Amino acid sequence: MKCAHCSQDVPDGVFCTRCGGHQATTGQAGNAATRISHYAAHPGEHVLHPGVFTTLFPHLGQHKVNEFRWAFMAGVAAIFILDVAGLISAAILCAALLIPVLYLIYLYEAQVYRDAPAPALGFTIGGGVILGIIVTTLVNHFSNPLDLGGPLGSTTRALIGLCVIVPIVQEVVKPIPALILRESSDFRETVDGLVFGVAAGLGFSVAETIIRFSSVLSSLNTRTDPGNWIYPLLTLAITLPLLQGSATGAITAAIWRMRAGRVGQREVGIIVAALLAHVGFILVSQLLFDRALSQLVILAWQGAVVCVLLIGIRYLLHYALLEEATHMGFVETVCPTCHRHIVASSFCPTCGKALIAAPSSITKSRKPAAATTPAEG
């Protein structure tokens, strides 16, 4: 069939395997070509759906995404149990490591690093940890440590320094380990920049949390009255690492696009949004705490900021996957999302998954299709 959007001859399917356009809605060519109701990394979701795992774990198929969701919920349940048992030190460590460990497993599961695991993992998570140690130690040396949900000490100068300047400095520094990998010919796509940026941000988050809570960890008894620890623990386990990882991933993905010659409102906008999100997350959280508002309100604000940032990332990545699609010849493969045996080039003709965001094992296993069968298997 001939695609209504790119005019290429492609296998029959719901989506064009060359440009990713939605063939079933050709009456609205603009909307069908950009198909925002079918997110390119996970077509079963809308681009504006703030899914954590389908945004930050783009290489996983739906089945694997569900496994990671269950693992995450099990980790949160473990934190609750440790909190109720009064094992606060263990709960803090579990909270600090939960999402970073899941991401490390994801990098291994999807083989995002292609054939260079040591440099990829070292420059991203390892580099993020090292920068987190350096930056957080320097911040703590020149000011009172800022633990979210704890008193700030209260001068306007301290507020601006710790809640505005420090977040901006962090977002300038955190992408550095991931950007080193940009020079490799193996990691040219925007999705690579996003994943490596998120990994660096999560590595930074681990170091920041452990250093800032080091005095708490060393002073707490083995068993402690849980008190109101559950809200700070949820911040440490969910909203703070997601903020750190998402903001850095967004900035790194945008820089990846810019260095490929694609500079536009989306790229500039996501960088500005990431900086504003990080500053707003820290600053407003502190102001809400200073006004003695419920910690549940603070947690809701933090969750809202993370959701907006996730939507911005999906918007950028969706268009990047559509624009960066290259014709790789029609090959036989298995779609990681719908699990259909297909003959495809850049997108699954059945569900619309961008195959550039497929796990490396699936990408490597692709076999050239017979020249006489350019149709779905």
Sole residue written with tokens 């063939």:
23
Look over the chain and give the mean of its residue pLDDT values, rounded to a whole number: 84
For the chain, percent helix, then strand, then coil, each to nearest 5? 65, 5, 35
Edge-to-edge, what's the strand order for the sheet holding 341-344? Answer: 341-344, 331-334, 367-368
pLDDT at 168: 95
Mean pLDDT score, 114-133: 85
The model's pTM is: 0.87
Report how far residue 220's alpha carbon sits from residue 217's, in angstroms, rounded to the nearest whole number. 6
Domain locations in the chain?
A: 1-35+325-377, 61-315
pLDDT(14) > 90 = no
User: What percentage of the chain carries pLDDT values higher than 90?
Assistant: 44
pLDDT value of position 24: 65
- For the stretch 296-329, pLDDT in tens is 999 999 999 999 999 999 999 999 998 887 666 6
Predicted confidence at residue 262, as pLDDT, reads 75
| pLDDT value, residue 102 | 95
What pLDDT, on a 0 to 100 scale, did the predictor assign at position 110? Answer: 82
- What pLDDT shows up at residue 222? 67
- Give the 3-state secondary structure of 151-196: CCCCCHHHHHHHHHHHHHHHHHHCCHHHHHHHHCCCCCCHHHHHHH
Token pair, residue 224, equals: 């402690």
| Residue 46, pLDDT score | 92
In sequence order, the β-bridge partners of residue 341 are: 334
What does the pLDDT look like over 334-372, one tens digit per residue? 877 788 888 777 888 888 888 888 776 666 555 555 444
Beta-bridge partner residues of 204 = none
The residue with tokens 């497993």 is 105
pLDDT tier, 1 (very low <50, low <70, confident <90, very high otherwise): confident
Has residue 260 got a pLDDT over 90? no
Q: Give residue-wise pLDDT tens across range 25-61.
A: 544 445 777 888 899 899 889 999 999 999 999 988 8
pLDDT (0 to 100) of residue 248: 96
Could you tell me how far CA 146 lies from the centroid of its own chain?
24
- Please name the residues in contact with 74: beta carbons below 8 A apart, sequence gap of 6 or more: none
Residue 60's pLDDT is: 86
pLDDT > 50? residue 133: yes
The string of pLDDT tens digits covering residues 181-234 is 887 767 888 998 999 999 999 999 999 999 988 888 877 776 666 777 899 999
Lowest mean pLDDT among 101-105, 114-118, 146-150: 146-150
140-144, 160-164, 247-251, 294-298, range with the lowest pLDDT: 140-144
Sign of CA dihedral 189, 203, 163, 148: positive
Residue 252 has pLDDT above 60, yes or no: yes
Give the pLDDT mean for 96-112.
90
The percent of residues above 70 in pLDDT, for the chain, comes to 86
Structure-model confidence comparison of residues 240 and 18, the more confident one: 240
State the pLDDT at residue 140.
Answer: 83
Of 82, 28, 342, nearest to 233 (Cα)?
82
pLDDT on residue 182:
80
